[in-house]
Chains A and B, each alone.
Chain A
Amino acid sequence: MDARIGIRNTKSVLFKSVIIFLAFVITIPLIIVLLYIIKQGVMQVNWHFLTNIPAPVGEAGGGISNALLGSFIIVVMSSIIAIPVGVLAGIYLSENAGTRLAYYSGLCVDILQGVPSIVVGIAVYFWVVKPLGTFSAVSGSIALSIMMLPIVIRSTEQTLLLLPDTLKEAALSLGVPYHRVILKVIVPCGFAGILSGIMLSVARIIGETAPLLFTAFGNPYLSTAITKPMETLPHLIYTYATSPYDDWHNLAWGASFILLMFVLLLNIFTKLITRKWNIQL
């Protein structure tokens, strides 16, 4: 008897060590990539780098201010489009779970999630860029908002589905009309989950390059005109990393570092928010 328990214990210890080892192994690529980008990029970053536009070939210095501003504008515009639509659709799906329309809408959301980003880019190219006759920040925002939608919709839906029905009944039994129940009870109670979905969707699109190639395109100058081409961090990295000049490669490394830091911070904030604002049911 004792011997068998001994064998079991050894097995369990062995099993645990294998799991810990594997968990360690999968973090190795992440760590290597992080360290490499930090090593290459951190040297480039300084105040000058953040506040100047890229320098022409052969000139020293230069920065990525055009891409920082452009990424910011485009992310804000994408959010303005995707958040209201996505949250409302998520509310619809959770409130009407089990109906046929909700089922098929949900299916569409899943399919949309699986559409390659470059396909979204081409679609927006034909819908917006061609009719308008020019690449523009607006068209880039539309493409990115389409990428954001499925994440916002599903995370809103999943968050709200977890809220107990008794919460809604409590409000309804006080004579609160349905739309106010949604706005004043359901959405506030799911706020942390909805917000973290939004932040994750931003983290997801901030590094998207493919859909921007045919939409926002890029712009070597600082620009705030949303109907004109606009530079973004991933597009800048793409153009400058594929150029033959060392100065430009350094610019791309610096931009990669900034982009990476942004995504990391966004993920950390999301974790903090869900922990801190999560409402105890």
Chain B
Amino acid sequence: MEHTVVSASKFNAWFGDNHAVKDVSISIEKNQVIAVMGPSGCGKTTFLRCINRMHELIPGATTKGSLKLYADDIYTMNPIYVRYKIGMVFQRPNPFPNLSIYDNVVAGYKLNGLKMAKADMDHIVEKSLTSAALWNEVKDSLHKKGTFLSGGQQQRLCIARAIAMEPEVILFDEPTSALDPISTSSVEQLFHELKEKYTLIIVTHNMQQAARVSDKTAFFYVGELVEFDDTKTMFTAPTDVRTQNYITGRFS
């Protein structure tokens, strides 16, 4: 029983006339962790930001081709709805500095002006922080500012913020590259638990990380999706020579 959650077919993205994503076709199944890898500047971030329609916010940015969430075309849906359904966690932890930990978690509701009973909100906060493995550390200081937390805690707070919206998919753009090894391993730990409920797409430069956490790996090279396969296969027997070079180049 496998369901396709996100699928792209011949999807392209540009910055002005810089063709950053070229004819990408991919289909991503539910409850999987997908690692996206490739050399710097190959369009990983750009592709990720196309999936929740953040790409179009940059002046001059355009797209072509089809990108679907289940059966719906992402580019004909309301972008606000797309972003409810597809959460994002950024490279640097970016909790809202003006909000408490509590309000940061429910920021998606509060900032959108969605009214909710206090009890329901408490419930969402506890559930999301627990899923983000942060509840025990912050349960006594929920009303402190989120920016008082350590970098790793802040990143888990941002994950909790994304989870709170109950999205289908969560996008991670190098989520651990600004974190120390201990915080990194606690975030990696999380991926295993989160995939029970969500589909995760993770851009990473760290091959060991990709190998540890992902079910499948997509390899991008100068805007193209070169190879997409089971992570094991990708790391042991890649078919494309560019993937091979990249992987061996790093390991040797």
A residues sitting closer than 8 Å to B (CB atoms) are 164, 166-167, 169-177, 180-181, 184-185, 188-189, 191, 279-281
A170 to B88, CA, bound (A): 8
Q: B69 contacts the other chain (Cβ, under 8 Å)?
A: no
- Which listed residue, B54, B111, B158, B162, touches A185 by the CB 8 Å rule? B111
Distance from A153 Cβ to chain B, minimum over Cβ atoms (Å): 22
Q: B19 contacts the other chain (Cβ, under 8 Å)?
A: no
Residue of B nearest to A176 (CB): B111
Q: B165 contacts the other chain (Cβ, under 8 Å)?
A: yes
Complex contact A175–B84 (CB within 8 A): yes
A149 to B250, CA, bound (A): 57
Residues of B within 8 A of A191 (CB): 98
Complex contact A171–B92 (CB within 8 A): no
Distance from B124 Cβ to chain A, minimum over Cβ atoms (Å): 13
Q: B94 contacts the other chain (Cβ, under 8 Å)?
A: yes
- Which listed residue, B79, B107, B113, touches A171 by the CB 8 Å rule? B107
Given A170-B161, A176-B112, A279-B97: 4 more A-B contacts, CB < 8 Å: A174-B162, A175-B112, A191-B98, A281-B97
Complex contact B147–A180 (CB within 8 A): no
B residues sitting closer than 8 Å to A (CB atoms) are 52, 54, 57, 79-84, 87-88, 90, 92, 94-98, 107-108, 110-113, 145, 147, 158, 161-162, 165
A188 to B98, CA, bound (A): 7
Complex contact B90–A174 (CB within 8 A): no
Residues of A within 8 A of B84 (CB): 174-175
Chain A contact residues: helix, strand, loop or mixed: helix
Complex contact A173–B111 (CB within 8 A): no
A175 to B165, CA, bound (A): 10
Complex contact B161–A166 (CB within 8 A): no
Residue of B nearest to A180 (CB): B111
Given A175-B81, A184-B111, A281-B97: A170 and B92 interface contact (C-beta under 8 Å): no
Complex contact B81–A166 (CB within 8 A): no
Residues of B within 8 A of A173 (CB): 52, 54, 83, 87-88, 90
- Which listed residue, B147, B158, B161, touches A281 by the CB 8 Å rule? B147
A156 to B57, CA, bound (A): 23
Given A166-B92, A169-B90, A279-B97: A174 and B57 interface contact (C-beta under 8 Å): no
Residues of B within 8 A of A281 (CB): 97, 147
Residues of A within 8 A of B147 (CB): 279-281
Query: Can you offer 22 A-B residue contacts whose CB atoms are under 8 A?
Result: A167-B94, A167-B96, A169-B54, A169-B57, A169-B90, A169-B94, A170-B90, A172-B54, A173-B52, A173-B54, A173-B87, A174-B112, A174-B161, A174-B162, A175-B83, A176-B80, A176-B108, A176-B112, A177-B112, A180-B112, A180-B113, A279-B97
Residues of B within 8 A of A169 (CB): 54, 57, 90, 94
Residues of B within 8 A of A166 (CB): 90, 92, 94
Distance from B209 Cβ to chain A, minimum over Cβ atoms (Å): 22
A175 to B52, CA, bound (A): 9
A181 to B86, CA, bound (A): 18
Given A166-B90, A166-B92: A174 and B83 interface contact (C-beta under 8 Å): yes
Residues of B within 8 A of A177 (CB): 80, 112
Distance from A181 Cβ to chain B, minimum over Cβ atoms (Å): 8
Residues of B within 8 A of A174 (CB): 83-84, 87, 107-108, 111-112, 161-162, 165
Residue of A nearest to B78 (CB): A175
Complex contact B96–A170 (CB within 8 A): yes
Residues of B within 8 A of A189 (CB): 96-98
A169 to B107, CA, bound (A): 13
Q: Which of B84, B94, B110, B113 has the most CB of A within 10 A?
A: B94
Q: Which of B52, B98, B147, B161 has the most CB of A within 10 A?
A: B98
Complex contact A170–B158 (CB within 8 A): yes
Residues of A within 8 A of B88 (CB): 173
- Which listed residue, B82, B94, B145, touches A280 by the CB 8 Å rule? B145
A30 to B80, CA, bound (A): 56
